[in-house]
Each structure stands twice: as C-alpha cells, then as structure tokens.
Chain A
C-alpha cells in the first residue's frame, strides 16, 4: 500500500501571498496524483488531476507540479475563499490513498 505524506500539517499565510503545499508518495505514482480542497462542513472538491491539470472551473492561481514521488500544489495569491484543508491522493495503485491533509489558515 502506498503511503501519502503531506507537509506541512498547517500553513499560515497572509491573503495575497503565495502558498506552497507538498505531497510525497512512498513509491512512484507516476503522474496519477490529484489535489482536493475541503472547507468546513463541505465535501471535498477536485482541484488538480494528473498532477498538473486543473479541473473544470478551477482558477488559474491553483497549479500542480511533480511526478514520481514528489508533488507540489501552489496557490499563487491566496484569496479569502482559499483558506481550507487540502488533500493529495494517488490513483496509480490500489487502494487509492489520501494524504493526511494540509490546513491553510489565515496568518
């Protein structure tokens, strides 16, 4: 089973600043990596798939990069609606595991 590790657990950022979130896989998942955003009381929302492709309707300030075992989600200029928890998930192998999440909070 592939283990997904996200860092940091919490990221404090001021509005307008750049946020960089990391996700590491215990073995290669190629580019089969997705990122989700979850706000309190809501279901997760797909942001990025294929490591770097934005899902429909996702703003361009969200970008994903990486392949193999190291991945990054970058939010170029944080807006108030971006403060949330972000999860990475691999779908290269069964089971399709999630990382533990990174909470992006207002600094």
Chain B
C-alpha cells in the first residue's frame, strides 16, 4: 500500500543543521509532487515546502525561505528536507505528504519530531 516514512528528527542546538528524509513506497514516486508540512507542539498545521515531481520547481514558506532546502532522489524514492540555521520556532513534528489526484494532501507520513534547544 501507499506509505511514507519520515526519519532524521532529533534534538539540535539553535543555529545547527539537520536533514530529514521521507521514504516512499507503494506508488510511482517520480510522478508526484511532494510536500513538507509541520506542526509545532499543541499548534496547527503549517505548510513548509513543495517540490515538483521532477525536481524542476521548489517553493517555500516565508518562515523557512533561505534556510531550508527541499530535494528528492527519484532513483531512491526518497524526499529530503535540509534544515540549516535552525531556530527554536522550528521545533515541530515534520510530515511529508503526497498531493494526488484530489489536489489535496492525500497521504501523510507518521511524522518525525525536531526539537531545537540549547
């Protein structure tokens, strides 16, 4: 079945970097745009970034622009989020999500927790 599995979260000091991964299975990964969405503890959902199916276009939320980079390796069916210059306000559960035929976020991973703290 369609599955997205995030990894790479953890505790990191402010100003440091972290790379998240999202392993996809059960569908043709190279045919779909992929997103990252985050959720701070006890808060709502915030869209973070998107990458086109072929990596040709990438867009970011203003809150992460210039610090985060989304990428993908279609040969490995994996989505990435490189997070640099991390801040306390980046503390959140990070989800990868697939936009399918519905144009909405059809499939979500289970999330990976990122905590930015000294």
Contacts and interface: CB of A to CB of B under 8 A. Distances in A.
Given A34-B102, A34-B104, A87-B44, A95 B109 contact: no
A65 B26 CA distance: 32
A89 B105 contact: yes
Interface string A23-41: 0000000001010100000
A61 interface: no
Contacts, number: 53
A32 B44 CA distance: 20
A34 B95 CA distance: 17
A100 B61 CA distance: 17
Interface residues of B, number: 18
A95 B105 contact: no
Contact of A49 (B35, B47, B61, B103): B103
B106 A43 contact: no
A66 interface: no
Interface residues of A, number: 23
A99 interface: yes
B45 interface: yes
A94 B103 CA distance: 13
A100 B103 contact: no
A54 to B, nearest CB: 10
Interface in B95-118: 95, 99, 102-106, 108-111
Contact of A46 (B44, B95, B102): B102
A46 B108 CA distance: 9
Nearest to B60: A95
B102 A44 contact: no
Given A44-B45, A94-B59, A101-B44, A36 B105 contact: yes
Contact of A43 (B102, B104, B109): B109
* 10 shortest interchain CB distances as A-B pairs: A34-B104, A43-B108, A49-B102, A49-B104, A98-B45, A101-B44, A100-B44, A95-B47, A96-B47, A91-B103
Given A42-B110, A89-B105, A91-B99, 6 more contacts: A43-B95, A55-B104, A91-B104, A96-B47, A97-B47, A98-B44
